[in-house]
Amino acid sequence: MFEELEDRGWLLTREDGSAQVFDGIAATSGQPYGLLDLTYRDIYNLWVERHRQLVEDGLDAPACDAQIAIPDGVTARNGETGPANGGTIGRQVSIRL
């Protein structure tokens, strides 16, 4: 799944244009992951639809308390950036590799 999302440009990227891969955290069972770039309408709509399906299947509310530090040089499709430029990236969802 990661490769497909990276090919479509639906993950946050590094300065060289490749997907940013984050080190594993407790929420990902220690597995490395990428973050969806929800500033891109297509992936945002997919994310909304998947969550709608979960609710229809009985999920009361999705929850994640992971604290994710966005490194310098990470960029969203709409130009929002990581901390080096004010840390304006606001909406992300993790995808396990």
Q: What is the pLDDT of residues 6-48, one digit of tens each?
A: 999 899 999 898 999 999 988 889 999 999 998 889 999 999 9
Compute the half-sphere exposure of residue 77: CA atoms within 13 Å on the CB side of its CA: 17
pTM above 0.85, yes or no: no
Angstrom distance (rounded) from CA 76 to CA 90: 10
Residue 79: predicted pLDDT: 81
pLDDT for res 83:
64
Residue 46 sits at φ, ψ, to 5 deg, of -60, -45
Residue 91 clears pLDDT 60, i.e. is over it: no
Measured in degrees and rounded to the nearest 5, phi and psi for residue 56 equal -60, -30
